[in-house]
Chain A
């Protein structure tokens, strides 16, 4: 199971916070901060796994992250997930974002947090991997966007 998916930038500003287990808001913020500090001090050329977050999970949990330009994508997962598999999943997620936003950059995530969530929802559901095939994910997102458009968008 995936327990949390966090996206934050190089300064620790959250861009996407998705917990699959309930934490009160202030704890969520604390977890983001702690995770940021854990990840920040790591060089880019060392491994993408780390243990030792004190707030989330326990010994069974691991943080698996990737660093892209200005953003960190961090997945907190338990031992039922394959570490390398999750690394690939992050890549799938980012590539999907890239496709949906056409050259995604941090600004897209800043201004369209809702859309990022909708994309994530097609990849991971309730903490479990839903779909790993990028074409399938993109197809579903586009279909939903079309549906939204046909309804006249959020302002209609």
Chain B
């Protein structure tokens, strides 16, 4: 063995390391591939050796080769071997290789689970860190499921370095294993207030990423984020939060109002461009407040005028967002935007192009398009040219060709565009040609003449294979010439053009259209000739067909072949009849009789469901057990709502239905744009912030009635407005109000034929969401308490059976407000001092940097490091630093008995600030005199949650134990003094005085979670249980037995479980009359009603049954089945809560607790 080792290390001296490999590749420039394949062979040999160092070296080289494009998946197993090396050096190499090459399809990946778990719990923070980093790149659904719990524990690690990584990776875990979101969310939320700015920023990052996809589930976090926004000085965090608010405000208009002030302040005060920009963006999204909106537009203009191209670009980008809602504000900057069209920077030109969409009017359309056409000629890259092309078409066709006064001009433009070489957008042009020719009757003659010229030049278009994109135009040209052949000047000529042999080189689908339209044309020529009694000419045409059609019959394309042979036979038959002198034209034309009308794209979808047909009804009753499966409580809030909606449907009486139908019909009749496939942005804007936006459900019948009335009024008003608008405009045009309606008479009488729709079409404009969207799985209601079935798979400990329902804690965030602001102020001052120091330092440092001098940094010497993001970030970190030092200091001191008391109090202080409301089942630690002598009891009973479950009146208490000391804690036992009412569930056979063992040990700095089950008899009163945690602390000096006392507080609210209740059931419950009543009133509340409700839901486990204005009914159910109904009303500055409950004591206790919560608002 020893010999082998020696031999191994000698061998190694001859191995290439990464540097040698790189050097070798550089020296073999001519035969690089050969050299590399040689190296791969060597690597394969090295991987066969037992020496881990050799293997690691080989894997490191493979990682390099992977970057060069070589597949290294064959070495996956060796990579895992290196990952499991005990040395950090090798482990890191292994994880790097894995992160670069592993993916969901890697089959050996499942072998890594245990190794990763081991590394995650390694005592070395860098082993853990490297495993987290690696895992973040190759996490699979299986890994996510198996490791979710381990990672979640790491979120409370003592080292911020690990905490921030664990927090970030949770996002990946959520994506792969959505079930973990709900159990992990409370802790994630907690991390928003982590003392370490890095962890905080990571948590903000993750939540923003989550909320971006499903914003409505995160509305309840708005107050917390609002607090962060007004307190944080870290620009990175601020940017994320402000972006998040941009996504939230459309869902909760009241939020916008609150945001305006702090955002405007930031806009005025910040020097960081990035922050300013994001503020502007969010204010645009809020778009309610006129003065601040104008401020934003002003700021944007400044950005666009800036010489920094980056700012210019972003300014235009933001402008395009305004365009959607306030086209007028953008139009006033037309000069600036047109100017940007001439910018040398393509990105900027593209952005300016986007804006043009809103700039055009009847007056300037031609001028703008002309300008764009010159750009098309000048453009170099095809991407930009294609973009120009689509923009021209977009601009012209917007809102039903609203701005086009002269369609002849438009057709000419389209024809001109066909001269573009190598564009991908031939089909777009074709679609426009067809659309215009079909819908604008007056233009057909002109269109047909243009199209026939196109066909005539078809050899030009189709000559080069490279231009196959543009040949799509021929599809349109042929069809138009065929369909409207009566307008052709020289049909015979066109027919010949369509039958040219060149045509057979076109793609099959175009040839097919050729064949079909040749017949149309033939039919019309035949008719002409027969009417003119030119039998010979007619026969000549037939002969031409018989001669030329066979070239299509031979086509490889089935469609072409089939059509051609069919038609050929037909024409041959016609020829025979012609020979006999029978007039045939009538019959041939009859093939194409009737007019084709355009049908709206969504017509099929909008066919109304016939009365009496219930699409949701079962045709056959489903089997009973499959039904029960359906009934299983699923976390999707979404579904719940749907079910509720369905449930409610029958409530609407027949009369109401009839009335609505009538109203719909009327609206339809009055609105020519009703059938338009996409509502114009303006229209959407009008609709969205209406009354309907606030969710309302029915039982307060009177209020409901009122609401409907209001809605009706609103609708009428809107309808009237629309009607007025129509009166003004001569033509039917979209509702996008651009420049004040100028009266430019169209060049020709244009009637746009509207698309056909089924009778009594239903409005169904909702765009179906992509069912494959991975983020949909994360659309999960986070405010609902966890159900048993939702726990994360935990590695089982032997003793874990008694902890029956290991629900993850639904931890209410303990807010540590009281201290924070002061700290922040201090930080701020420190910062300012630091700022100056730092500036000096920075200058010195950046000066002597050699080779890679950043271009921008040089120009903008003052802006230095964070040229856009400003200094906030690094400073806040610096501000935080001293405190970190202090903490460390404290920890060191903990070893000394002197400081025991103080540091312990600190622990407490950080847990619960004085004056906080008592949380659900909060655990109170009491600073008792310390009994141990040599060692500080540094166990932190961190979090707690009491969760009731409906079975057997059992509640589960989750406790997070964190070891803050330097010793290993073993044999932990939790004993609780049972009360008559509440008992702890102990393993069978143990007596009342025995403790329940905690199923794990705690190495220093580690935290873990334990769960204990209690049985409760009466739940109408809050309970406090005294308990002791005993454990053995073991360090180098020996082991000591220690104790820690605590109190468990079971609040009444913790016995309540959030149970959804439908409004009708709720109403019935209230009517039943066997509920006792009680009420409270709290004054001096400034919090918004929404937040208030959220608080009640969160802290007291209620769900909102219905909400109307500032009045809401709420419901919850105790674990013993008591119904608790609340009516919450908000006045000016006060809130009153009326409650009804089947048990009066429970009610008064719950209300008392609620009073305490509300008093904090």
Contact = CB atoms under 8 A, between A and B. Distances in A.
Interface of A: 1, 14, 16-18, 20, 22, 24-26, 28-29, 41-52, 66-71, 80, 82-85, 87-88, 91-92, 94-95, 98, 103-106, 110-114, 117-118, 121, 125-136, 140, 143-144, 147-148, 151-156
B309 A111 contact: no
B750 interface: no
A152 B60 CA distance: 17
A43 B1151 CA distance: 68
Given A113-B64, A133-B198, A140-B161, A44 B855 contact: yes
B209 A45 contact: no
Contact of A71 (B71, B347, B852): B852
Nearest to B26: A110
B310 interface: yes
A74 to B, nearest CB: 14
A26 B721 CA distance: 58
Interface stretch (B164-172, B659-667, B725-733): B164-172
Contact of B347 (A17, A46, A111, A156): A46
A4 B381 CA distance: 25
Interface stretch (B89-97, B633-641, B958-966, B1100-1108): B89-97
B868 A85 contact: yes
B198 A131 contact: yes
Interface in B869-910: 869, 873-874, 877
Contacts of A88: 274, 865-869
Contacts of A25: 66, 69-71
Contact of A91 (B161, B274, B865): B865
A129 B71 CA distance: 28
Given A52-B383, A82-B274, A82-B277, A130 B164 contact: yes
Contacts of A110: 22, 26
B88 A85 contact: no
Interface of B: 12, 17-19, 22-23, 26, 53, 56-57, 60, 63-64, 66-71, 87-90, 92-93, 96, 100, 103-105, 124, 126, 132-133, 136-137, 139, 161, 164-165, 168-169, 171-172, 198, 201-202, 205-206, 208-209, 212, 236, 239, 243, 273-274, 277-278, 309-310, 312-314, 344-348, 350, 381, 383, 849-857, 865-869, 873-874, 877
Nearest to B69: A29
Q: Which 7 A-B pairs have the closest CB atoms?
A: A126-B136, A84-B274, A84-B868, A22-B103, A47-B309, A46-B345, A68-B852
A5 B790 CA distance: 36
B1033 to A, nearest CB: 28
A140 B162 CA distance: 11
A66 to B, nearest CB: 7
A84 B869 contact: yes
B850 A103 contact: yes
Contacts, number: 222
Given A84-B273, A151-B89, 10 more contacts: A1-B209, A46-B348, A66-B856, A68-B854, A82-B239, A91-B854, A111-B19, A121-B96, A154-B89, A156-B89
Given A126-B137, A134-B874, A156-B89, A85 B347 contact: no
Contacts of B90: 154
Nearest to A154: B89
Contacts of B88: 144, 147-148, 151
B133 A49 contact: no
A113 B96 CA distance: 11
A144 B850 contact: no
B171 A128 contact: yes
A85 B236 contact: yes
A24, A25, A84 — which one has the most chain B CB atoms within 10 A of its CB? A84
B89 A131 contact: no
B239, B312, B851 — which one has the most chain A CB atoms within 10 A of its CB? B851
Contacts of A69: 851-853
Contacts of A42: 345-346
A132 B347 contact: no
Given A111-B19, A147-B88, A154 B57 contact: yes
B1104 to A, nearest CB: 30
A85 B205 CA distance: 13
Contact of A45 (B66, B309, B849): B309
A13 to B, nearest CB: 9
Contacts of A92: 865-866
Contact of B344 (A46, A95, A121, A153): A46
Given A68-B853, A85-B239, A130-B164, A125 B136 contact: yes
A116 to B, nearest CB: 11
Contacts of B869: 82, 84-85, 88, 132
A128 B857 contact: no
Contact of A136 (B23, B851, B877): B877
15 contacts: A18-B100, A22-B105, A24-B71, A47-B313, A80-B209, A82-B277, A85-B274, A87-B310, A113-B18, A113-B67, A114-B93, A128-B168, A147-B89, A154-B57, A156-B89
Contacts of A125: 132-133, 136, 165, 168-169
B387 to A, nearest CB: 8
B849 A20 contact: no
A84 B310 contact: yes
A156 to B, nearest CB: 7
Contacts of B857: 91
A126 B168 contact: yes
Nearest to A13: B68
A23 to B, nearest CB: 9
Contacts of A41: 381
Contacts of B53: 154-156
Contact of B314 (A20, A83, A94, A148): A83
B69 A117 contact: no
Given A49-B347, A133-B877, A147-B126, A114 B18 contact: yes
Given A113-B67, A125-B168, A128-B171, A47 B17 contact: no
Given A47-B345, A69-B851, A114-B63, A91 B165 contact: no
A101 B126 CA distance: 21
A17 B12 CA distance: 28
Contacts of B96: 114, 117-118, 121
A134 B851 contact: no
Contact of A151 (B87, B206, B239, B350): B87
A139 to B, nearest CB: 10
